[in-house]
Amino acid sequence: MEPNIKNIAVLTSGGDAPGMNACIRAIIRTGIYHGRSMFGVMQGYQGLIDNNIIPMDARSVSNILHMGGTILKTARCMAFKEDAGMEIAFKNLKAREIDGLIVIGGDGTFTGAKRFGEKYGINVIGVPGTIDNDLYGSDFTLGYDTAVNTIIEAIDKIRDTADSHDRLFFIEVMGRDSGCLALRTAIASGAEAVLLPEKETSLKDLITKLQSGVNTKKSSSIVIVSEGNKYGGAYDIAKSVKRKFDHYDTKVTILGHLQRGGSPSGFDRILGSRLGYSAVNELIKGASMQMVGLRGNEIKLTSLEEALHAHNYKLEDDLLEMTHVLSI
Amino acid sequence: MEPNIKNIAVLTSGGDAPGMNACIRAIIRTGIYHGRSMFGVMQGYQGLIDNNIIPMDARSVSNILHMGGTILKTARCMAFKEDAGMEIAFKNLKAREIDGLIVIGGDGTFTGAKRFGEKYGINVIGVPGTIDNDLYGSDFTLGYDTAVNTIIEAIDKIRDTADSHDRLFFIEVMGRDSGCLALRTAIASGAEAVLLPEKETSLKDLITKLQSGVNTKKSSSIVIVSEGNKYGGAYDIAKSVKRKFDHYDTKVTILGHLQRGGSPSGFDRILGSRLGYSAVNELIKGASMQMVGLRGNEIKLTSLEEALHAHNYKLEDDLLEMTHVLSI
Amino acid sequence: MEPNIKNIAVLTSGGDAPGMNACIRAIIRTGIYHGRSMFGVMQGYQGLIDNNIIPMDARSVSNILHMGGTILKTARCMAFKEDAGMEIAFKNLKAREIDGLIVIGGDGTFTGAKRFGEKYGINVIGVPGTIDNDLYGSDFTLGYDTAVNTIIEAIDKIRDTADSHDRLFFIEVMGRDSGCLALRTAIASGAEAVLLPEKETSLKDLITKLQSGVNTKKSSSIVIVSEGNKYGGAYDIAKSVKRKFDHYDTKVTILGHLQRGGSPSGFDRILGSRLGYSAVNELIKGASMQMVGLRGNEIKLTSLEEALHAHNYKLEDDLLEMTHVLSI
Amino acid sequence: MEPNIKNIAVLTSGGDAPGMNACIRAIIRTGIYHGRSMFGVMQGYQGLIDNNIIPMDARSVSNILHMGGTILKTARCMAFKEDAGMEIAFKNLKAREIDGLIVIGGDGTFTGAKRFGEKYGINVIGVPGTIDNDLYGSDFTLGYDTAVNTIIEAIDKIRDTADSHDRLFFIEVMGRDSGCLALRTAIASGAEAVLLPEKETSLKDLITKLQSGVNTKKSSSIVIVSEGNKYGGAYDIAKSVKRKFDHYDTKVTILGHLQRGGSPSGFDRILGSRLGYSAVNELIKGASMQMVGLRGNEIKLTSLEEALHAHNYKLEDDLLEMTHVLSI
């Protein structure tokens, strides 16, 4: 039997990711379509504590589908990790008779949601939203596809100038614990090499690879460096390489936070819409403590328990092998 | 035991699609990596007949990963449907000791390849390349993701001017037999309605939907029309609607061939690279008369037989239902 | 001595153009900086009559600089051409003590503003905003630069597919009375030919040009057609050409209203900001019945009288000659 | 009387800039149109010395109009500063009867060209090509407009994430000696403040400005830092500010070399085409030791002497004042 979910709130937490607005729009409109009262919580868990909870209707989410960032904003919130904070949050929800909560974010977001749901019996659904694509239970996380496109557009521009000058470029991309962005963008940009947090690549191997490019008359080389790799940032690596390999002029670019922004790609708009739509439908059908995710071409549920336990992204070794072959 | 595949040729046929160059690059370099001699055939099957077959090395495919179109060009070829044409094609391949052929294209391309392979014992692998995403055996076809992004970027621009003028826009997108592009871009652009070749939508329902937008104070409306829908093109539909619903100023845009072009998205560059890489690896391992495709996050084989027999894309009814809910 | 301009209103009228929002932002903030009360009029002159006039502060124009369209919307207004309509408009302004009016638009907009200003003694400044770049007194009009970029990005995509298929494309761009967009985008896209409203190009000459491209081994040809040329639209021309020249497969694209939208280019954002800033400063200094425009690298005044009298854009014959030379 | 210019060579030197390829295309085709033999010199002055001088025809420059970088490549060349180097360069030109030389680049490029032309009587024309827009005699230099667009697209993305987190961003843009890019992109992106090499802005003033944004409820702030400003790079400034102003979370982005790349904007494609076309026409008419430049809407000559003597870009104080007003 369908539980008596009356009012539903949504929040975004952790780093923002393109497609979050598409997801918020889908959540609000699907809830309203089913006759629920819908609320947006500002600044993640902080808004629950600060009682910054806003009633939303279908027009509140007009013209946001194509926008980067999140209209609900996001913030870190230490207070929500304390019992006292959670207690206030619960009272604020209860005062509005909100009994369903949808959280969009990553690991940290889900950990808080799980504890909160277990403690107060609020029905909770998680939506995987992070550009890092490092969550278990969804082939792709919201924002990842857009981030890949943003990064390769930047590298395409850098390739123009690299080719014109016979240069070697080190480009640092996001991904402190996960090399997924680095590996996939290395393939998509035709990079000559990639340094990942999960793999130890010796500098010697890197230099051998670069030298072989010189031998086969490559006019420039691009190395993608994941911010979490063991040699430090792109600047440090560039210096170490330069000492032993001085064929090209060497330059470094740190792409930084522009990787988080931008209008979401079609893929992320569709994914955000589907995840938001399903999150509400599943909540209404009685699901709780679950994450909605994309597997193959379908939306499937994974328990938050399992998503958090087995959250580590497995590095795709076959893709890493492929980058070596394709950059000969 | 590994067959004695010595030389491999690749061609593109049918409509061009973004990502074909990424795939060609992967095919040539993977073959060379494995010590094979590699050839590119110009203008599809026509080049087989015209003996327009060019030896390629790793540098022949430098700087093409990010380019739209196909450096091998593509063309329709009636002569290849005749026995005489096939005979000449075979002799041209034989003269170069080419015993493996990779064809990138859609249904028509695969039909020719299958007949050719069966008749002359050439080992054939197909790669699904079409913006229509209407092939069985691959969740996504090469070029589709880029086409979605191209279309929604165009609609985003049209939305600017639609909002500024309180206008109703009919936008015609490609897909003569398949509404996949129309349906997905309707979701990704927040269109108010979509007309598909697979579904009969009465004009009355369309007008009811548009009227409800007026009632809930939408400042503009966008209707996506698939070129293959039963009411004719976007111009015809706009006229029929205008006769019965005159709230907005009405405009029509036919996106046309710009949907086929453009630098491939990250998704299509990675997909093209993976499909090309696998096509060569599978060919070398002994596969023939197979299509490589993406299922979930893995590359899988489907026989050309099956791909051609069950080729129809199934319209995703749940996504169509979702467009109605999300555009309230 | 400085006149006692107290309150200032701004409206956008005619076709919308990218950069209008940048200009509105500059107007509102410059006025507030100088201590004036600022108002936005919705839907052009219609809003004056409907009393749809909204007080605006510095935050009302946050986050609009980069947006296409106009937040004030625009509309045609027949009632403002009548004395009765103007009378109501004046009363609505008077009730708010608005004595300065800035209008952003083209010829039609300025004609209305001039008559209104003369009749009721309202101080009026015009800002040239149209993608057609056909106004006297400003080297560039607001929105034109963005439209050029939008068009050439579309043509770049079409060139991909044209090259892949050895095709001839006819692409219709906006500009009913002025070939400025067509001529400039023909140069910027390397088009083989361009048909303009101001020039009679015989079909024979066009075919000779296309034939010479075939002779010098061009793999595709692109012809830009201005919507106002004498042979009718791109479809008609394509048909006429096809009858006499059948070397290539022929396709047509009508770019339509996507040319009006999109995030404004840097050029248009800076131009819009400068024009808006100057419009308010000049109004406060006592200017009236003037248009602000860019000449060389400076903002200069032109009387509305002169701007309207000598409004015709002169076709740049040297640029037309150049397109012939550069497309050999 | 027309001098007997027979053969013409073109080279690009110094930093590459978008639009150089459009200019090269125009030069080659205009020369061929006038019956001259045309040559491309690889890697700037180095190619003159290395005799890396290639005959070019109309098809050599097909499909490059829309590409960033320079197909002729560019490099620093110390040897050309020596008499011995110049002597070899001259002999290489003489061997091909090249009596006209067009150089595309900035100050350093023109200095070398002037000395070479004076010494050996080669007819020399300079084309201003640099993203810095810091040359005398041209309102805009080739590549500057594209760089502005590239930078503001990056900042638009960063604004998304800045708004979502209430953050303060410091963004470093190119321009060691000239704040032109920084100032113009600050206007075009709505930055709250800008630090320029030409101006001393006290940190105190910067903090006052940021505090006033907090007071008027700005949700984020962006400060553009020109790489040549007196406080050091963006990292140093961010640290200094953070010590005294801790309202926002602070982040830094260094855009780096992506600012040099990318497909040229319409403006730069047209500018490059016009400058190249005029350079050849002027050379054939007898001009030498001149730079072609855009003033207003016309191409005008400036002597290299004057261009080098008075080369300093004058900071536009009125635009700087405007950035303060518009970011209230």
Cβ-based contacts of C168 with chain B (< 8 Å): none
In chain C, the residue whose alpha carbon lies closest to the alpha carbon of B248 is: C75
Q: Could you tell me which of C147, C176, C156, C160 has the C-alpha nearest to residue C257?
A: C147
Q: Is D36 on the interface with C (CB under 8 A)?
A: no
Task: Looking at the structure, tell me whether residues D166 and D79 fall in a common domain.
Answer: no
C131 carries a ligand binding annotation: yes
Return the pLDDT at B325. Answer: 94
Q: CB distance D216–C328 less than 8 Å?
A: no
Q: CB distance C58–D328 less than 8 Å?
A: yes
Return the pLDDT at C32. Answer: 97
Q: Which comes out higher in pLDDT, residue B3 or B91?
A: B91
How does pLDDT run along chain D (328 residues), one tens digit per residue? 456 799 999 999 999 999 999 999 999 999 999 999 999 999 999 999 999 999 999 999 999 999 999 999 998 899 999 999 999 999 999 999 999 999 999 999 999 999 999 999 999 999 999 999 988 899 999 999 999 999 999 999 999 998 888 899 999 999 888 899 999 999 999 999 999 988 877 788 899 989 988 888 887 899 999 998 777 788 889 998 888 888 788 899 999 999 999 999 999 999 999 999 999 999 999 999 999 999 988 999 999 999 988 655 577 889 999 999 999 8
Return the pLDDT at B181. Answer: 94
Q: Work out the number of other CB atoms within 10 angstroms of the CB of residue A104.
A: 33
CATH of the domain at A203: 3.40.50.460
- pLDDT > 70: what percent of chain A? 98
Length of chain A measured in residues: 328
Interface test with D, best of C32, C135, C187, C299 (most D CBs within 10 A): C187
Say if CB D26 and CB D36 are below 8 A apart: no
Say if CB D218 and CB D326 are below 8 A apart: no
Q: Please, which pLDDT band fits residue A145 given cuts at 50, 70 and 90?
A: very high
Strands C167-173 and B167-173: unpaired
- Phi and psi dihedrals of B43, rounded to 5? 55, 45
Task: Looking at the structure, tell me whether residues B136 and B149 fall in a common domain.
Answer: no
Task: Looking at the structure, tell me whether residues D165 and D245 fall in a common domain.
Answer: yes
Q: Could you tell me which of B291, B303, B288 has the C-alpha nearest to residue B122?
A: B288
Q: CB distance A261–D160 less than 8 Å?
A: yes
Return the pLDDT at B232. Answer: 79
Rounded Cα distance, A181 and A155, in Å: 13
Return the pLDDT at C310. Answer: 67
Q: Please, which pLDDT band fits residue A1 given cuts at 50, 70 and 90?
A: very low
Task: Looking at the structure, tell me whether residues B137 and B11 fall in a common domain.
Answer: yes
Rounded Cα distance, D302 and D278, in Å: 13
Q: Is C70 on the interface with B (CB under 8 A)?
A: yes
Task: Looking at the structure, tell me whether residues D268 and D256 fall in a common domain.
Answer: no
Cβ-based contacts of D164 with chain A (< 8 Å): 12, 16, 69-70, 73-74
Return the pLDDT at D128. Answer: 97
Q: Classify residue A320: in a domain, yes or no.
A: no
Over residues A175-190, the pLDDT tens digits come to: 888 899 999 999 999 9
Q: Could you tell me which of C269, C172, C267, C164 has the C-alpha nearest to residue C229?
A: C172
Q: Is B70 on the interface with C (CB under 8 A)?
A: yes
- Residue among C16, C132, C145, C268 flagged as catalytic: C132
Cβ-based contacts of B257 with chain C (< 8 Å): 158, 161-162, 169, 251, 253
Interface test with A, best of D24, D155, D165, D223 (most A CBs within 10 A): D165
CATH of the domain at D292: 3.40.50.450
Strands C123-128 and C221-226: unpaired
Task: Looking at the structure, tell me whether residues B152 and B233 fall in a common domain.
Answer: yes
In chain C, the residue whose alpha carbon lies closest to the alpha carbon of B68 is: C160
Q: Is D218 on the interface with C (CB under 8 A)?
A: yes
A199 carries a ligand binding annotation: no
C130 carries a ligand binding annotation: yes
Q: Which of D189, D266, D325 is the closest to C33 by Cβ?
A: D325
Task: Looking at the structure, tell me whether residues B30 and B75 fall in a common domain.
Answer: yes
Rounded Cα distance, D67 and D12, in Å: 15
Q: Is B262 on the interface with C (CB under 8 A)?
A: yes
Cβ-based contacts of A156 with chain D (< 8 Å): 261-262
Q: Classify residue C157: in a domain, yes or no.
A: yes
Entry pTM: 0.96
> Which residues of A are marked as active site?
132
How many Cβ pairs within 8 Å bridge chains C and D? Answer: 124
Q: CB distance B258–C164 less than 8 Å?
A: no
Q: Could you tell me which of D296, D300, D264, D265 has the C-alpha nearest to residue D279?
A: D300
Task: Looking at the structure, tell me whether residues D18 and D89 fall in a common domain.
Answer: yes
Return the pLDDT at B200. Answer: 77
Return the pLDDT at D165. Answer: 87
Over residues B289-326, the pLDDT tens digits come to: 999 999 988 999 999 999 888 655 577 889 999 999 99
Cβ-based contacts of D150 with chain A (< 8 Å): 157
Q: Classify residue A304: in a domain, yes or no.
A: yes
- Residue A311: pLDDT above 60? no
Q: Which residues are A56's β-sheet partners?
A: A38
Task: Looking at the structure, tell me whether residues D103 and D11 fall in a common domain.
Answer: yes
The end-to-end CA distance of chain D, in Å, is 60
In chain C, the residue whose alpha carbon lies closest to the alpha carbon of D278 is: C322
Q: Classify residue D53: in a domain, yes or no.
A: yes
Q: Classify residue C185: in a domain, yes or no.
A: yes
How does pLDDT run along chain C (328 residues), one tens digit per residue? 456 799 999 999 999 999 999 999 999 999 999 999 999 999 999 999 999 999 999 999 999 999 999 999 998 899 999 999 999 999 999 999 999 999 999 999 999 999 999 999 999 999 999 999 988 899 999 999 999 999 999 999 999 998 888 899 999 999 888 899 999 999 999 999 999 988 877 788 899 989 888 888 887 899 999 998 777 788 889 998 888 888 788 899 999 999 999 999 999 999 999 999 999 999 999 999 999 999 988 999 999 999 888 655 577 889 999 999 999 8
Q: Could you tell me which of B282, B189, B195 has the C-alpha nearest to residue B232?
A: B195
Q: Which of residues 80-139 of A touch D (CB under 8 A)?
A: none
Cβ-based contacts of B256 with chain C (< 8 Å): 158, 251-254
D30 carries a ligand binding annotation: no
Rg (CA), chain C: 22
Task: Looking at the structure, tell me whether residues B172 and B250 fall in a common domain.
Answer: yes
Q: Which of A190, A273, A327 is the closest to B326 by Cβ?
A: A273
Return the pLDDT at A323. Answer: 94
Return the pLDDT at D312. Answer: 58
Cβ-based contacts of A261 with chain D (< 8 Å): 156-161
In chain A, the residue whose alpha carbon lies closest to the alpha carbon of B215 is: A59
Interface test with C, best of B150, B160, B255, B268 (most C CBs within 10 A): B160
Q: CB distance A165–D75 less than 8 Å?
A: yes
Q: Which DSSP helix (H) or strand (E) runs through D102?
A: strand D98-105
Q: Is A263 on the interface with B (CB under 8 A)?
A: yes
Q: What's the gap between Cα D211 and its chain centre?
A: 35
B143 to chain C nearest CA, in Å? 12
The end-to-end CA distance of chain C, in Å, is 60
Interface test with C, best of D269, D284, D317, D320 (most C CBs within 10 A): D269
D47 carries a ligand binding annotation: no
Task: Looking at the structure, tell me whether residues B24 and B114 fall in a common domain.
Answer: yes
Question: Residues of D165-184 as b/e, b for ≥16 C-beta within 10 angstroms?
Answer: bbbbbbbbbbbeebbbbbbb
Q: Classify residue A280: in a domain, yes or no.
A: yes
D69 carries a ligand binding annotation: no
- Residue B1: pLDDT above 60? no
Q: How many domains does chain D fold into?
A: 2
- Residue among D16, D99, D132, D134 flagged as catalytic: D132
Q: Classify residue A322: in a domain, yes or no.
A: no
- Mean pLDDT, range B238-246, rounded to an integer: 87
B295 carries a ligand binding annotation: no
Give the 3-state secondary structure of residue C142. Answer: strand
Q: Is B62 on the interface with A (CB under 8 A)?
A: yes
Q: CB distance D295–C295 less than 8 Å?
A: no
Residue D128: give the domain boundaries: 7-143+264-309
The residues near D68 (Cβ < 8 Å, ≥ 6 apart) are A157, A160, A161, D16, D18, D21, D146, D260, D261, D262, D263, D264
Neighbours of D, requiring at least 3 CB pairs below 8 Å, are A, C
Task: Looking at the structure, tell me whether residues D182 and D256 fall in a common domain.
Answer: yes
Q: Please, which pLDDT band fits residue B34 given cuts at 50, 70 and 90?
A: very high
Compute the mean pLDDT over every residue in chain A, rounded to the nearest whole number.
Answer: 92
Return the pLDDT at A312. Answer: 58
Q: Classify residue B322: in a domain, yes or no.
A: no
Cβ-based contacts of B159 with chain C (< 8 Å): 261
Please state the ipTM of this predicted complex: 0.95
